[in-house]
Amino acid sequence: MGKQRFVTLDGLRGLAALAVLLHHAVPKLMPGHVLLPAGYLSVDFFFLLSGFVISAVYEMRFPKGLGSFVRTRLVRLVPTMWCGILLGALLASWRGMDLVELRLSAALLFIPLVFGNFGLFALNGVQWSLYFELVANYVHGLLIWRMPTYWIAVIALCAYASLGLLSDHFGSMAFGDRDANFAAGYARVAASYLGGVLVFRSWQQGRLLDLSGLNPFLLFALVMAISCWFGPKFDFAAVLVWPLVLIAGIQHQTRFEALCAFGGAVSFPLYAVHLPIVDGTLLALGTGASQAAFACVCALGVAMLPMQLKRLRSRLAAAGPVTSAAAGQPLTR
């Protein structure tokens, strides 16, 4: 895959993370105001994107073994989510939440607590989606890459059909994050993740639908806007449109590479830490437009830290040790 394609997908990932941030921050910190009420549909786009990217980057390596892939994914995702979990644990202790130690232990081990209807991962509510994504990644490395496209398509169609029924049953696509609808989360991740795998295989075989004339960012925004207008009854239709956004993103040649690369770099840290920051702002500062803006800026600032640390390490590595001309000894910068 070319650099342009990866950069465009990074930009879409950043846009989806921003949608989740606004979806959570505005209603909590500005009561009576709702912005992007269907922001939770970004999670389905994340699942779709994960299926495509894992196929593109790792499928050729799967025959060499699953261990390296699992280690890579855990190192890439888990420490960042742990930061969000620890922030959530501090906030829960401040609030006086029950069973904080149990919830913390389970969260750090990615064990969903399916009781009490407080959320599978009460310390950081977004962790549920990463749990399902890691399950999908593992199944991909273990089984999906070996399967012919025909059977993946059959399973994906069944998963999407189940998703439609579940959306009608629950009244929206906002399920999978609580004990009452935990099992339904497997259908949610299966449909979109396998959809991403199918998009990759179609691209690989040169059979991808030509959507190069569509701007994927505008299409993403249009889906969110229509979702705001029609409400949850549009949720399932939106999930069916996400593959078109992905295809358009693969074919799109962006002129804003730096901005898209930035969005991709901060997307996962922003997703992982924003909810405890929003809840902490609510508890410490109360509600209001300025509080909402403050929480968003803080979440973005924290999300930028890994990128800044990576740049700092790169600069230090490039600089290397400085040698003293007099003593001939290396001096550490």
Residues in the chain: 333
Tens of pLDDT along 270-293?
Answer: 999 999 999 999 999 999 999 999
Residue 327 has pLDDT above 90, yes or no: no
- The confidence score (pLDDT) of residue 326 equals 47
Contacts of 180 (CB under 8 A, 6+ apart): 117
Contacts of 175 (CB under 8 A, 6+ apart): 166, 181, 184, 185, 188
What's the pLDDT tens digit per position in 40-76? Answer: 999 999 999 999 999 999 988 898 888 999 999 999 9
Q: How confident is the model at residue 325 (pLDDT cuts 50, 70, 90)?
A: very low
Map tokens 């025959």 to a residue.
63
Q: What is the pTM of this model?
A: 0.92
Share of the chain above pLDDT 90, in %: 77
- Average confidence (pLDDT) over 256-276: 95
Q: What are the pLDDT digits (tens) for 150-176?
A: 999 999 999 999 999 999 999 999 999
Amino acid letter, 234: F
Strand, helix or coil for residue 282: helix
The pLDDT value recorded for residue 316 is 81
Q: How confident is the model at residue 308 (pLDDT cuts 50, 70, 90)?
A: confident
| pLDDT higher than 70, residue 123 | yes
Q: Is pLDDT above 80 for 319?
A: no
pLDDT of residue 228: 85
Residue 4 vs residue 223, higher pLDDT: 223
pLDDT at 311: 80
Measured CA to CA, the distance from residue 158 to residue 175 in angstroms comes to: 18
